[in-house]
């Protein structure tokens, strides 16, 4: 079993290979357990994820900061319920 140690990623405005990797991990529900900071705003991959903020928050349990704002517990609970 592989350990995924990515803790922070910036994929704004491109970085095709990184954004494709993240999309693959998110879509397959495997997530990235140590990923706590992600900046993806402006990346074309965003349009490929329906409700991307809610989806990423719900599927990436360790995510504490997404784009330009923190992920609060209330937002996480709403995203998981969605």
36-82, pLDDT tens digit by residue? 888 888 877 777 778 889 988 988 888 999 999 999 999 999 999 98
In a domain, 43, yes or no: yes
User: Helix axis angle, 52-59 relative to 16-27, nearest 10°?
Assistant: 60
In a domain, 23, yes or no: yes
Strand-pairing partners, residue 65, are 37, 70
Give the residue numbers spanning the domain of 56: 8-81
In total, how many domains does the chain have? 1
The answer to whether 57 and 50 have CB atoms below 8 angstroms apart is no
Burial 19-31 (b: 16+ CB within 10 A, else e): bebbbebbeeeeb
Q: In the predicted model, is pLDDT for residue 6 greater than 80?
A: no
């Amino acid at each position: 079993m592989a350990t995924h140690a990515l803790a922070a990623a910036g994929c704004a405005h491109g970085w095709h290979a990184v954004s494709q990797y993240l999309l693959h991990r998110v879509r397959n529900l495997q997530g990235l357990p140590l990923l706590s900071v992600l900046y993806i705003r402006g990346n074309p991959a965003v349009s490929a994820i329906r409700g991307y903020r809610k989806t990423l928050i719900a599927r990436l349990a360790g995510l504490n900061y997404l784009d330009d704002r923190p992920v609060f517990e209330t937002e996480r609970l709403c995203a998981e319920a969605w």
